[in-house]
């Protein structure tokens, strides 16, 4: 029997570690507000187990969110991929259809929306800390918002060559720097983006940098992270990982509902408010 799309009601976020993921809370809040009778869980999963897990999914499944370390691992397992997946080399969204697995990337859109929500509609230069799949998405988002100069701080610079190629293919000048290089050299960028876990950010920034450059910290556990707090201490501008989480997730919900992120949802603004209320205390959402 062919399963109708309307019958597919099971969704989940996959990754490792996954215990503290906020995705179930925000997706469930959105589904309730939108009137979708869908279930959304969290599944602890590594790349080695991903092929078997995907192969065992039945017609009850509608879609998946993917986080560390699966965004790149899933790409060769897809039957179809949005061009953006090929560009950044990773998918964070999978839709199950009768024709197979369809992959999408909503991190780029989520990052752009987060910048715009913070009042940054144009970037000149950025520093990106980290060189993984999320860094690639933030690189594309930054270039699409106008950044033409990008410095990438990587613990293993030899592994960041693909990011240089990606940025240069989009028209940006990209420099790969050693993680321990002093981040105080050169001009102050429009934004500093950290894509590393909150507890692993060990670079220190001068007050003049923290006061002038917007910090986009994709981490949200713990929040505020130490680096975000250092920005707040001097009145610097901070974009929270909660912003990226919610903005990429609402794009996922669009895809799960209509197969594209281009179609806004009815009551979308209410759904976003419900998502934020599910994970933030009153007054927490402030771009400082």
Distance CA 209, CA 125 (A): 13
User: What are 74-133's pLDDT values in tens digits?
Assistant: 999 999 999 999 999 999 999 999 999 999 999 999 999 999 999 999 999 999 999 988
State the burial class of residue 283 (Cβ atoms within 10 Å of its Cβ: 0-12, 13-18, 19+).
exposed
Token pair listed for 285: 């959402």
Domain with CATH 3.40.50.720 in the chain: 119-236
pLDDT > 90 in the chain, percent: 82
Residue that is written with structure tokens 């560009």 in the block? 87
3-state DSSP assignment of residue 141 = helix
Give me the pLDDT at residue 239, please: 97
User: What are 89-106's pLDDT values in tens digits?
Assistant: 999 999 999 999 999 999
The number of angstroms, rounded, from the C-alpha of 116 to the middle of its chain's C-alpha atoms is: 15
Token pair listed for 160: 């960041």
pLDDT at 1 over 60: no
State the burial class of residue 150 (Cβ atoms within 10 Å of its Cβ: 0-12, 13-18, 19+).
buried
CA separation, residue 132 to residues 76, 89, 157 (Å):
17, 10, 11
User: What are 229-265's pLDDT values in tens digits?
Assistant: 999 999 999 999 999 999 999 999 999 999 999 999 9
Would you call 71 a catalytic residue per the annotation? yes
Which CATH topology does 119-236 take? Rossmann fold (3.40.50)
pLDDT at 60 over 70: yes
Query: Hey, which CATH number is domain 5-105+248-279, 3.90.1150.10, 3.40.50.10860, 3.50.50.60, 3.90.550.10?
Result: 3.40.50.10860
For residues 223 and 273, which has the higher predicted lDDT (pLDDT)? 273
User: Per the residue annotation, which of 33, 39, 71, 159 is the catalytic one?
Assistant: 71
Distance CA 138, CA 107 (A): 7
pLDDT at 57 over 50: yes
User: What are 150-207's pLDDT values in tens digits?
Assistant: 999 999 999 899 999 999 999 999 999 998 776 656 689 999 999 987 767 788 899 9
Closest CA to 122 of 137, 140, 144, 107: 144
Helix 133-144 and helix 107-117: axis angle, to 10°?
Answer: 50
Computed on alpha carbons and rounded to an integer, the radius of gyration of the chain in Å comes to: 19
């Amino acid at each position: 029997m062919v399963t109708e799309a309307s019958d597919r009601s099971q969704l989940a976020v996959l990754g490792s570690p996954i215990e503290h993921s906020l995705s179930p809370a925000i997706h469930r809040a959105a589904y309730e507000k939108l009137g979708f009778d869908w279930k959304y869980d969290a599944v602890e999963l590594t790349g080695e187990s991903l092929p078997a897990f995907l192969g065992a999914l039945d017609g009850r499944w509608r879609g998946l969110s993917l986080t560390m370390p699966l965004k790149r691992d899933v790409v060769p397992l897809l039957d179809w991929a949005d061009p953006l997946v090929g560009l950044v080399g990773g998918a964070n969204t999978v839709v199950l259809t009768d024709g197979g697995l369809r992959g999408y990337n909503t991190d780029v859109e989520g990052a752009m929306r987060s910048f715009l929500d913070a009042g940054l509609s144009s970037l000149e230069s950025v520093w990106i800390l980290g060189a993984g799949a999320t860094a690639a998405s933030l690189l594309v988002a930054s270039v699409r918002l106008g950044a033409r100069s990008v410095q990438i701080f990587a613990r293993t610079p030899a592994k960041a060559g693909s990011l240089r190629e990606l940025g240069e293919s989009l028209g940006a000048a990209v420099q790969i720097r050693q993680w321990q290089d002093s981040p105080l050299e050169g001009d102050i960028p429009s934004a500093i983006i950290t894509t590393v876990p909150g507890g692993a950010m060990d670079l220190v920034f001068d007050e003049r940098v923290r006061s002038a450059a917007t910090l986009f910290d994709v981490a949200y556990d713990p929040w505020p992270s130490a680096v975000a707090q250092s920005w707040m201490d001097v009145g610097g501008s901070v974009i929270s990982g909660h912003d990226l989480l919610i903005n990429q997730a609402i794009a996922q919900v669009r895809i799960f509902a209509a197969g594209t992120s281009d179609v806004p949802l009815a009551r979308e603004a209410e759904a976003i408010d419900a998502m934020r209320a599910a994970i933030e205390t009153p007054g927490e959402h402030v771009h400082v």
